[in-house]
Structure 1
């Protein structure tokens, strides 16, 4: 990130301020700050691993994909194509690897189809709760929603984005088991 042009660094800071996912960064913690100060803000807000994930996400948003890939590589966070079987999930030990398609996580890339086509939401929520991707209060709120599409929309709108890449990867692995045919179909679409 330190090799960003001034223009891209300003865009990075602006995009960071406009992230909808929580926790959000306050304007006074970003405006007029140096690269090192922004790095400190990222780490103090998201922890070390989360800071890398958020920084890569923001870099992708401002069309700095090479820089995002380099950041992930430097931080030893590996990306994989969907369907590769040599991919260790975040809980498999070792270095976390994420299922990426065209610079974004598989579940983000296919969000609309997942919202419309996933039917086993209750089972998925049970597993997300068990793996501590969501909390009991969120689980209860989503389960109270009447339709599976609305439940999925709510899951994507808050808790899943807040969980970052690791949470999305756990969600993806659950979908591979609970909605195997849907995921296979989406993998074929790229």
Structure 2
């Protein structure tokens, strides 16, 4: 049997939710602050088939998977998220298993090389600055690791965390510490993103 598409897998995962959990999932989707936002009229009163379609059409297949996993964990459906994340899917000939292997099987030097020269001499994190500012959702753990590795100082950490939204925090990170840390610091930033946001990084690589 061929692997299911991400859309079909998301649809099945949503179908397995209880009515109460499905309503919580839809509410969390509408409350999500990151861009792009979904329209309330596209979500309210819709069934799991329609919601799966909305996710894919709004975020692309790999992005929809990432968002679905995040929202399932947010509403305390960790087991459902784990089952969905472990399933092999095949969107556009790319499976979750191959994405994970591609990201985690390489050593640090391979990750840094892939990030450094995405477009000419521009670093991956510079090339995709706008997308990363808009779409990175794991900002607190990202900042924790940057602080531990000395890329940002405690004062800078506090300044960034004082911002109201994930987008504002990422923007502050870019204009401050990340702008000053050089290529080696950006390599570390990139490798942390590979670990925290594997589906987002894969989506940007392939598009």
- TM-score of the pair, normalised by structure 1: 0.51
Q: Which residue of 1 aligns with 2:47?
A: 34
- Kept after mapping to 2: 8 A contact 1:115/1:152: no
Q: Which residue of 2 aligns with 1:73?
A: 86
What RMSD in Å do the two structures reach over aligned CA positions?
3.8
Partner deviation per Cα, 1:141-178 (whole Å, 9 max, x = no partner): xxxxxx63367446x821788xxxxxxxx8451589xx
| In 1, Cα distance between equivalents of 2:25 and 2:55 | 12
Deviation at 1:22, TM superposition (A): 1.1
How do 1:18-97 and structure 2 match up within 5 A?
A: 18-74=31-87, 75=89, 76-77=95-96, 86=105
Q: Pick the structure with more helix per residue.
A: 2
| In 2, Cα distance between equivalents of 1:60 and 1:172 | 24
Match of 1:158 among 167, 176, 192: 167
Count of residues in correspondence between the two structures: 125
Match of 2:157 among 142, 149, 154: 149
Deviation at 1:69, TM superposition (A): 1.1
Classify 1:7/1:174 alpha carbon distance in 2 versus 1 (closer, same or farther; 3 Å).
closer
Deviation at 1:86, TM superposition (A): 3.7
Q: Which residue of 1 aligns with 2:151?
A: 120
Classify 1:108/1:68 alpha carbon distance in 2 versus 1 (closer, same or farther; 3 Å).
farther
Could you tell me which runs of 5 or more consecutive residues in structure 2 were left unpaired when the two chains were aligned.
1-12, 90-94, 116-135, 171-187, 195-207
- Kept after mapping to 2: 8 A contact 1:13/1:30: yes
| In 2, Cα distance between equivalents of 1:73 and 1:54 | 15
Deviation at 1:27, TM superposition (A): 0.9
User: Larger relative contact order (C-alpha < 8 A, sep ≥ 6)?
Assistant: 2
- TM-score of the pair, normalised by structure 2: 0.47
Q: Which residue of 2 aligns with 1:173?
A: 191
| In 2, Cα distance between equivalents of 1:160 and 1:43 | 26
Q: Pick the structure with more strand per residue.
A: 1
- Kept after mapping to 2: 8 A contact 1:118/1:148: no
